[in-house]
Amino acid sequence: MKTKLLPLIAFVSAAAMMPAANAAEDTSGYVTDANGAIVKDSSGQCVRSSAWTPEKAIASCEAKTAAPAAAATTEAPAMTAAAPAAAAAAASKYTSETIMDNGMGAYVVDSQGRIVRDSMNRCVRSTKWSKDSAIAKCEGWEEEKPAAPTPAPVAAPKPEIKPFPAPAPEVKPMPVNEPIHFQGFFDFDSNNLNAKAKTQLNDYADYMKAVDDVTLKITGHTDSVGAKAYNQALSERRASAVKTYLEEQGIAGDRMTAIGMGESSPIASNKTKDGRAQNRRVEIEIVK
């Protein structure tokens, strides 16, 4: 007849599976249930309390549990040898630090609120245990890392609003006065400009540069001494002398017209020396 071996399963309320300890024995070194029975873990070993000392050890609890009798097989030695290594690997994921109860009653605790461990360093579950009430360190689960705080959004800098620049004040051109009427006088039988005439012509050059929509009419004259044909040519040379000087001051030649009137337009009597001096002249007219 074959014997069927049943595994030992530890419950927090283990009174039904283990008789009450002998009254003479001190059980303060072990975790006991409400009936005073010593709690055992899944491997059948008594669960020690934080008050356990060698003096408080109970022989029946500390004795190594004999392996249940079973039919020998050729694979038994190999399994027996691998068992400690497997147990050690399973226990390695549990922390050995003291774990305090989370107040949800999922584990058996001692008088100081510390969770009781079994021989494999696992927390002893109570009948209230659930996945929601479990403690990650007890179960060997990887604890969730707190999520990194979301950085506060950085407000984009407001664009700098610059006021429109004030409009530049309107700069009105300074009024340019027309130069005084030019009458350049010449020595007898000469078309050379004297210093006084050049000073007056400089004023005309400045005016022409400031006002670009005017032209000049330059007219040369002579007295009545000499032949009329000669005097005509001399008057033209005098007018040309004035035009050439203004061109040298930067006035375009096409803005000026030079003509000669000979002795035909006297402004004084040619019978006197002073009158003849006034007739040897060049006059300028501004044409707009």
Average pLDDT over residues 69-94: 52
**Cα distances (Å, whole numbers) of residue 177 to 106, 136, 173, 208, 283:** 111, 103, 12, 11, 18
What is the pLDDT at residue 84?
Answer: 59
- pLDDT value, residue 16: 40
What's the pLDDT tens digit per position in 128-172?
Answer: 888 888 888 787 777 777 777 888 888 888 888 888 888 888 876
Q: 17 or 94, which is more confident?
A: 94
Annotate the chain with DSSP letters as a single string. Answer: -PPPP------SS-TTTSPPPPTTS--TTB-B-TTSPBPB-TTSPBPB-TT--GGG--HHHHSPPPPPP----TTHHHHHHHHHHHHHHHHTTS--S--B--SS--B-B-TTSBBPB-TTS-B-B-TT--TTT--HHHHTPPPPPPPPPPPPPPPPPPPP-PPPPPPPPP-PPPP-PPPPPPEEE--TT-----HHHHHHHHHHHHHHHH-TT-EEEEEE---SSS-HHHHHHHHHHHHHHHHHHHHHTT--GGGEEEEE-TTSS-SS-TTSHHHHHHHSEEEEEEE-
Tens digits of residue pLDDT in 215-257 = 999 999 999 999 999 999 999 999 999 999 999 999 999 999 9
Which pLDDT band, with edges at 50, 70 and 90, does 68 fall under?
very low
Q: Which has the minimum average pLDDT: 79-83, 87-91, 139-143, 175-179?
A: 79-83
- What's residue 22's pLDDT? 53
pLDDT beyond 80 at 214: yes
pLDDT tens per residue, range 97-137: 788 887 888 888 888 888 888 877 788 888 888 888 888 87
Please indicate, yes or no, whether the overall pTM of this predicted structure exceeds 0.85: no
247-271: burial string, b at 16+ Cβ within 10 Å, e else? eeeebeeebbebebbbbeebeeeee
- Inform me whether the pLDDT recorded for 13 exceeds 70: no
Which pLDDT does position 118 carry in this prediction?
A: 81
Question: Which of the two residues, 13 and 280, has the higher pLDDT score?
Answer: 280
Does residue 2 surpass a pLDDT of 80?
Answer: no
**285 vs 219: CA distance, rounded Å:** 8
Could you give all domains of the chain from N- to C-terminal order, each with its CATH number?
7-63+77-143 (no CATH), 183-287 (3.30.1330.60)
Identity (one letter) of the amino acid at 159? P
Q: What is the pLDDT of residue 138?
A: 83
Q: What is the pLDDT of residues 186-198, one digit of tens each?
A: 999 999 999 999 9
